[in-house]
Structure 1
């Protein structure tokens, strides 16, 4: 592996195991140590409320599946790729959304694409599919590039020292939330999302820490009408989000009515054209916009922030990415081709999503009894009503499936190595009929944003950079990600 330049000071590294005369060891990304003793019922409730990622025990990272029971509910934890395929693809019609998942998400997203089921989901998916085809997503590349360039210019100082970074410590987690919101607003809503961008990251954090957290009443499957105290605290910010959506829709509808020849043909216009008795209701349109504003960009933002953090601790991988970014951007001006021509940049992003999956859990429930028979003679009987837990958090770190599962090793995702990864052991965007509709969009956005960010700047850890992954719908760094941003 070639290192083209000196890219770090030993005193500034926040990794361990660096030896001056040897190749650094792969970075072990911070994460809870798997439990070795089963938790009590009360401990389960307390841990799930605090951080569900701290609940998982050693068997969840070593066994292909575990049948367990909690409060008289049978649950199946799935880590075998064949069984994952059976539940999410081969017999997906037998598995509905998990009850606890819906109790958490539906108050926020209602009938958005992530939470809708049945005919409502099918109509919404059909309406939005044209916007997110690979061909259409490539059409957003220039907008992604221009918004990324405009955003990173904020890291520059002004005045006599213009052209130098201010060397301040930035919360990179918040920065990436703002960047991805601006890209989303520009590409899907033509920059017409109402509200102030400067407040957006703070509002997202408040929404997810209140409305997006597990409540004990969810674990007990109490009816939706029973108030959840923490969610009551998030009603104001949720109302603010819904107000933003309503203003955005009303503004676009006026444009479609008064200036039909100049209205942008973007995601918002497409959805509004689907309104009608045979299409989407105005409530469903609002729910899907909320889904993309409040959740669609959030997953990419978290993955970008974790990528910058892991690279700050992986100097050799950073050198590879910097060399690739410099070479490709110098020879290929069109960002449409960057995703294909930057395999290292894509690999570091995908490895960060393996270690810190933006959506760390996929929950289903069996509608009818089922049975899976594996190719090696193993089988699992799944009774009606069984909760199925397919956890990218455990699946992506499973010792049965990955070499050095707790370490940042992006080379595993290079094109020559991808064939060793089973399609159903890596699920950053899910799989099957409900696979993330914006997967291609997100990958292209991430590579373009990283190329701009890493083409100009280095992101370095400081003593306060001690992130701890917590699950609040997405996998977030508790306390943010303070990092020093310096000009390369």
Structure 2
């Protein structure tokens, strides 16, 4: 009898799972919306390649966006595990979600569980609207043009001096040498982050090592538990409490708490930690900003944002310039005129140099700071897309935007994989379709540090090319592949370039 019952039970369980998946994956067909079908033989929806670490986050959403079956559609459905989700393809609909009707899409879909991971839930990217709004308002005061010019710019110049000295040492007295980019770029961006936000003079470029870089690298080092936590936060936020998922590892969280507790008030009294401590002093005692991990959470997320995004972008930009010597020479000529006999560029000059700006914007087009973003519909009755599309986005449904796909779409960017700064020349920039160039996101949830990030990129490129010409060599990979083990865009292969001393 037992020999008969066990196979029947297994068959019934299998049948139940099959029918459940079949019904789940028929959601968009029932609602008569274009969609990418998912196999009923997997519960992973369209995430299988991502979960198996065969593809990067950026490539996954770019491939969904660019799928030829939906290339004529304004939006289409796909599945995050069994959760119906939307990929937005039309710039006008993207504008509605990110900007015009922002108050109906107040949150990002991903979330940390406040009960078991308060530190993660308090971070600016993951905080829900009631907490996010006030945190954003407070921290945006750190990124005004006046503060960047008067406080941050002189500190960045100090790091740039260290960057030039670091390169000089690595050249070992030679006129030409092949060097890897990742360590140099990461030390540069972590040194900038440490100085600006924590008054931390870690001197990573001077010492060829940085505690901040070491902590960030360790956090991003993949293992099974981190992968499980990360995937649940981004794609199964309703499971984060049950899984005890955490944004920050225990060692990283401990390091950030120590950094905050040992922080000495900066000379100007207005770095990130100072600013947040002042905020705590102005709020009622029961306010969430008084949570013991509030400042450490913001400090932790700012380091990660600067470490991975900015360092990779600088490396990508140098790689593209090495690929096209003519463009590099034009940029170096502009820098030659701008520097003159000075060691530094003035803030006004760095901001306004036209070709440097064009080069950096084109780098951001090909390698956006955010490869994809999402918003969750928060309006209880849903959000109607009529008359554009006969569909109501239900409350709780995530809508994804592949910025990488959008900014590499041939419809908006002819020959999209070709690095061409002329796209951003003054006479051409007005021809760019609105909402097809959003490398830092857009609307109230857009990247808070976008201006600083662009300035950091410009200055890194300028001070490297001031003394050196970069070229492809035998060790340079012919094309960039994105690392499937990291969340942001990062090269899977080390990027090596031939550095030639050639002072302006």
Q: Same fold (TM over 0.5)?
A: yes
Q: Is the 8 A contact 1:142 1:335 kept in 2?
A: no
State the Cα deviation string for residues 351-410 of structure 1 (Å, max 9, x = none). Answer: 112112221111112123212357xx6665423332201110111111222111122111
Structure ranking higher on relative contact order (CA contacts 8 Å, 6+ apart):
1
1:44 is paired with a residue whose SS is coil
The CA deviation at 1:416 is 2.6
Q: Write out the 4+ residue segments of structure 1 that deviate beyond 6 Å after TM superposition.
A: 193-196
* Structure 1 vs Structure 2 CA RMSD: 3.2
1:477 is paired with a residue whose SS is coil
1:355 and 2:366 aligned: yes
What residue is the counterpart of 2:95 in the other structure?
Answer: 85
What residue is the counterpart of 1:372 in the other structure?
Answer: 385
C-alpha distance in structure 2 between counterparts of 1:341 and 1:451, whole Å:
13
Q: Is the 8 A contact 2:107 2:129 kept in 1?
A: no
Q: Is the 8 A contact 1:75 1:389 kept in 2?
A: yes
What residue is the counterpart of 1:130 in the other structure?
Answer: 141
- Mapping of 1:19-38 within 5 angstroms? none
The CA deviation at 1:107 is 8.4
C-alpha distance in structure 2 between counterparts of 1:386 and 1:486, whole Å:
52
C-alpha distance in structure 2 between counterparts of 1:324 and 1:380, whole Å:
51
What residue is the counterpart of 1:440 in the other structure?
Answer: 451
What residue is the counterpart of 2:191 in the other structure?
Answer: 182
The CA deviation at 1:339 is 3.3
What residue is the counterpart of 1:73 in the other structure?
Answer: 83
Larger radius of gyration: 2
- The 1:73–1:401 alpha-carbon spacing in structure 2 relative to 1, beyond 3 Å, is same
Equivalent of residue 294 in structure 2, options 284, 294, 311: 284
The CA deviation at 1:99 is 3.5
The CA deviation at 1:306 is 0.7
C-alpha distance in structure 2 between counterparts of 1:399 and 1:166, whole Å:
38
C-alpha distance in structure 1 between counterparts of 2:332 and 2:219, whole Å:
35
What are structure 2's unaligned runs of at least 5 residues? 1-35
Q: Which moved more, 1:466-475 or 1:425-434?
A: 466-475
1:470 and 2:454 aligned: no
What residue is the counterpart of 1:173 in the other structure?
Answer: 182
Equivalent of residue 157 in structure 2, options 139, 145, 151: 145
C-alpha distance in structure 2 between counterparts of 1:299 and 1:287, whole Å:
18
The CA deviation at 1:451 is 0.8
- Mapping of 1:258-277 within 5 angstroms? 262=267, 264-276=269-281, 277=283
What residue is the counterpart of 2:256 in the other structure?
Answer: 245
Q: Is the 8 A contact 2:322 2:497 kept in 1?
A: no
State the Cα deviation string for residues 184-216 of structure 1 (Å, max 9, x = none). Answer: 212232235699943544543342343478537
Equivalent of residue 347 in structure 2, options 312, 336, 348: 336
- The 1:429–1:53 alpha-carbon spacing in structure 2 relative to 1, beyond 3 Å, is closer
C-alpha distance in structure 2 between counterparts of 1:456 and 1:83, whole Å:
46
2:489 is paired with a residue whose SS is strand
What residue is the counterpart of 1:324 in the other structure?
Answer: 334
Q: Which moved more, 1:37-46 or 1:183-192?
A: 37-46
- The 1:297–1:169 alpha-carbon spacing in structure 2 relative to 1, beyond 3 Å, is closer
The CA deviation at 1:468 is 0.8
C-alpha distance in structure 1 between counterparts of 2:48 and 2:275, whole Å:
44
Q: Is the 8 A contact 2:325 2:471 kept in 1?
A: no
Normalised by the length of structure 1, the TM-score is 0.79
Equivalent of residue 45 in structure 1, options 33, 40, 47: 47
Q: Is the 8 A contact 1:245 1:286 kept in 2?
A: yes
Q: Is the 8 A contact 1:366 1:386 kept in 2?
A: yes
The CA deviation at 1:132 is 0.4
Q: Is the 8 A contact 1:193 1:248 kept in 2?
A: no
Q: Is the 8 A contact 2:124 2:298 kept in 1?
A: yes
2:47 is paired with a residue whose SS is helix
What are structure 1's unaligned runs of at least 5 residues? 1-36
Equivalent of residue 479 in structure 1, options 458, 483, 493: 493
- The 1:53–1:298 alpha-carbon spacing in structure 2 relative to 1, beyond 3 Å, is closer
C-alpha distance in structure 2 between counterparts of 1:314 and 1:123, whole Å:
45
What residue is the counterpart of 2:412 in the other structure?
Answer: 401
State the Cα deviation string for residues 31-51 of structure 1 (Å, max 9, x = none). Answer: xxxxxx977456833311222
Normalised by the length of structure 2, the TM-score is 0.77
1:429 is paired with a residue whose SS is coil
Q: Is the 8 A contact 1:156 1:165 kept in 2?
A: no
- The 1:38–1:455 alpha-carbon spacing in structure 2 relative to 1, beyond 3 Å, is farther
2:280 is paired with a residue whose SS is coil
The CA deviation at 1:154 is 1.6
2:210 is paired with a residue whose SS is helix
1:357 is paired with a residue whose SS is coil
2:333 is paired with a residue whose SS is helix
Q: Is the 8 A contact 2:112 2:120 kept in 1?
A: no
- The 1:268–1:64 alpha-carbon spacing in structure 2 relative to 1, beyond 3 Å, is farther
What residue is the counterpart of 1:215 in the other structure?
Answer: 231
- The 1:361–1:186 alpha-carbon spacing in structure 2 relative to 1, beyond 3 Å, is same
C-alpha distance in structure 1 between counterparts of 2:416 and 2:203, whole Å:
42
Q: Which moved more, 1:331-340 or 1:189-198?
A: 189-198
What residue is the counterpart of 1:313 in the other structure?
Answer: 323
